[in-house]
Amino acid sequence: MGIDFGSFTLTAATADLGEEPAAREHADAVEFRMDMATDPLDALDGYDGDLPLVATNRPAWEGGERPAGPERLAELRRAVDHDAVGAVDVELAALRGESATEAAGVDPEDPVSVVDRARETDTAVIVSTHDFEGAPDRARMRDLLGAAGEYGDVAKLAVTAEGPADALALLSVTQAATADGESVATMAMDEAGRHTRAVAPCYGSRIGYAPVDPTVATAPGQYDLATLADLVARLRDG
């Protein structure tokens, strides 16, 4: 059964599914960073936790640790078949065939086949794009979200904020996309954008990510899980 992202979903990011019990108090789901795990498919086979999983196998060319190639996408496609996996994350650039690094030795249909398999198994699809160098202008951010939404159930955009203007632009785009009826997940990385992880849900962002262990962040500027859960609850209830 796919994860319903109709409302905000707090996701605990980890490469160790053994952390799932510690996440239950605060999280609605667990993002399993397959690219950071030693034997991700074996870990999935042994998973017996309560929280649904978001399967992510992030390639090195988009900030992850998995080498590009057909094996990465084959692993992701196999992950979709696990009953505990309620959502899968696929990169927008892979779906568009825009990554020359990924394209080497990869059938252009491989990324699409992951999405197709997700549809067949009623697994939600998150289509993501990350900018670790800076923040595009508002028009570009809006275009990226729109393009990602054409492929997936949730369009995810993570940018790197160099100052308050970048964070404000991201929040503005988040609100505009939400007002247009789109399901988006947004966040600005690094210290200048850190607060957006707590504030973006107020503007319509559907997914928040935080590590269970605050010493093991999976992206720059993350709050730990307990802190983010408290911040989001205070802002949304206030």
User: What amino acid positions are annotated as catalytic residues?
Assistant: 130, 156
Question: What strands, in cross-sheet order, belong to the sheet with 29-33?
Answer: 184-189, 154-160, 124-130, 85-91, 53-56, 29-33, 9-14, 207-211
Quick check: 35 and 59 in contact, CB under 8 A?
yes
DSSP-assigned states of every residue in 26-40: T-SEEEEEGGGSSSH
Q: How far is CA 12 from CA 7, 28, 62, in A?
A: 16, 8, 20
In 3D, which of 226, 167, 230, 223 has the Cα closest to residue 200? 167
Burial of 48 from C-beta contacts in 10 A (0-12 / 13-18 / 19+): exposed
| Nearest-5° Cα angle at 59, 104 to 187 | 135
CA 191 to chain centre: 19
Quick check: 127 and 119 in contact, CB under 8 A?
no
